[in-house]
């Protein structure tokens, strides 16, 4: 599933390329991607004629402003892609294309989702949290929330749970998933199963710094695309941060720091990668 760096990459590209463009046409193929609407026709009517005003991110959700009252909410799910086709492009639709939004100046924005866990829907700004209750309880945003490491430490101490599940808990910190929780914990030198209330002041500082620096670096590389290349930016390009992964997906390969083999464990049904020597 795309995590914070991937979703933020897409948000920034949408903001740069699409703001101010007007929606001319909307095509929907099937109902699953617009399932919150009564019908595809309702979704189409809510979009056509609207101008794209802004692009925001809340956790792993994209909120694209349509006017003063309504937003287009996009969740990429496990495999969703938003692909921008430039003016005059006549490429055939990609397999698993579910929505095509025709924009002014001949541009197209296509929503492609092989596994169909993603979705798009239009809702009033006031009802966003009603439609997506988890947004009402999101934790802090690690790239946008200004926080001292002492405040971060206070939050850690209050939770008293294993570090990896805590980093992936959207109610604690928004946007981090399986990939970046592993990479952050390696950078901080901490095991996945350390209790959050067991960290020293120095370890708390290391973890906070590792979280911010890892996510910032991943964003500079436009996120991570794994072997299936299901994550792509709006231009159809894959991310580059996967080449920088220190532990994720590297079971049996040598640690880039100490040359010990990377180990895989299971935590809550998720694969977890770490170095037994570098992480304590």
Q: Please list the active-site residues.
A: 2-3, 60, 270
Containing 250, the helix (H) or strand (E) segment is none
- Structure token digits, residue 84: 């921008």
Q: Interhelix angle for 149-159 vs 201-220, to 10°?
A: 110
Asked if 29 and 242 touch (Cβ cutoff 8 Å), the reply is no
Q: Which of 67, 81, 59, 58 is nearest to 122 (CA)?
A: 67
Q: Which two tokens stand for residue 172?
A: 């604690």
10 Å CB burial of residue 221 (0-12, 13-18, 19+) is middle
Tell me the C-alpha distance between 122 and 150, whole Å. 39
Strands 23-28, 97-103: parallel, antiparallel or unpaired by DSSP? Answer: antiparallel
Q: What is residue 270's three-state secondary structure? A: strand
* Residues sharing a CB contact under 8 Å with residue 49, sequence separation 6 or more, in sequence order: 22, 23
How far apart, in whole angstroms, are the C-alpha atoms of residue 140 and residue 174?
A: 6
Tokens 């006031």 sit at which residue?
126
């Amino acid at each position: 599933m795309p995590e914070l760096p991937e979703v933020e990459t897409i948000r920034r590209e949408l903001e740069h390329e699409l703001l101010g463009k007007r929606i001319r046409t909307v095509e929907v193929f099937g109902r699953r991607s617009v399932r919150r609407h009564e019908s595809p026709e309702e979704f189409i009517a809510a979009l056509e004629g609207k101008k794209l005003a802004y692009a925001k991110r809340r956790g792993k959700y994209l909120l694209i402003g349509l006017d003063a009252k309504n937003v287009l909410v996009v969740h990429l799910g496990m495999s969703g892609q938003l692909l921008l086709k430039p003016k005059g492009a006549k490429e055939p639709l990609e397999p698993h294309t579910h929505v095509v939004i025709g924009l002014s100046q001949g541009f197209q924005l296509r929503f492609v989702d092989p596994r169909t866990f993603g979705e798009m829907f239009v809702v009033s700004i006031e009802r966003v949290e009603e439609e997506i209750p988890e947004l009402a309880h999101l934790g802090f945003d690690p790239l946008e929330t200004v926080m001292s490491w002492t405040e971060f430490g206070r939050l850690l101490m209050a939770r008293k749970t294993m570090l990896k599940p805590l980093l992936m808990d959207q109610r604690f910190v928004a946007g981090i998933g399986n990939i970046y929780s592993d990479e952050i914990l390696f950078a901080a030198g901490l095991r996945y199963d350390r209790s959050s209330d067991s960290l020293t002041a120095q370890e708390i500082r290391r973890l906070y710094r590792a979280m911010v620096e890892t996510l910032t670096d991943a964003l500079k590389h436009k996120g991570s695309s794994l072997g299936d290349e299901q994550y792509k930016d709006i231009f159809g390009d894959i991310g580059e941060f996967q080449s920088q992964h220190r532990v994720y997906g590297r079971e049996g390969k040598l640690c880039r720091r100490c040359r010990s083999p990377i180990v895989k464990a299971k935590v809550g049904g998720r694969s977890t990668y770490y170095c037994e020597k570098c992480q304590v």
